[in-house]
Structure 1
Amino acid sequence: MKKLTLALSATVMMASPVFAGDAAAGKGKSMMCSACHGVAGISAVPIYPNLAGQKEAYLTKQLKDFKAGKRNDPTMKGMVASLSETDMADLAAYYASLK
């Protein structure tokens, strides 16, 4: 019985991704991102990367790097300037949740 419970718990955990940020809140904050990265995180313009399905930790790191000036892009610098740590985590969770 203990093995069955453990197996079922593992299955549920694998079926439902757990995100550090709040994907629903991130969706509400994503409108400014959609102009370049597309409404569903798939860009129509090749110079802008697709965000949908990227790993949450990767997206969070990139946003933090833009904000800290470790990555240099004038457009992104302006876009992330007002984002809080929570905003960045939420946006990363949202885009990571998309297919």
Structure 2
Amino acid sequence: MARVNRGLFAAVAAGVLALALPLGAARAAGAPALVPLCASCHGDQGLSASPMIPNLAGQQQGYLSNALHDYKAKQRQGGSAAMMIGLAAHLSDADIAALSAYYASLKRN
């Protein structure tokens, strides 16, 4: 398995965050401002186009919140953890609560 360059992932994550923040105006009414950041990998409605990236729509709010807090605390490993750790590092508790509630409210289809 290839070794992950955490510095590179952190830089990419910061870049994605910087690009996604201005897109907040294009988001759906009632959606948190950071949804475009998540949508870049997890899809516009929380439904990923890739089987390697989990769907967020319809997931339990507590699970999503715990997962984001774990990424922020660098407690998750494997898969896309390096990318998610870099992204979650920039989220406040309020951001995590809003994103978790939003994605939990979406239909899974």
Please, what TM-score do these two structures have when normalized by structure 1? 0.72
2:34 paired with 1:29: yes
Equivalent residue runs for 1:6-21 within 5 Å: none
Is the counterpart of residue 87 in structure 1 residue 95 in structure 2?
yes
- Give, in angstroms, the shift of residue 83 of structure 1: 0.2
Aligned residue for 1:60, secondary structure, equals helix
Quick one: distance in 1 between partners of 2:104 and 2:98? 10
1:76 aligns with 2:81: no
Query: Which residue identity is paired with 2:58?
Result: G
Greater gyration radius: 1
Give the superposed CA RMSD: 1.4
Corresponding pairs, count:
76
* Identity value in percent: 49
Aligned to 2:23: none
**Could you say which structure has the higher helix fraction?**
1
Runs of 4+ in 1 over 3 A off after TM superposition: none
Mark the runs of 5 or more structure 1 residues left unpaired by the alignment: 1-23
Q: Which residue of 2 aligns with 1:59?
A: 64
Q: 1:46-79, CA deviations, whole angstroms, 9 ceiling, x for partnerless residues?
A: 1100000001011000000001011121110111
AA at the equivalent of 2:71? F
What's the CA shift for 1:92? 0.2
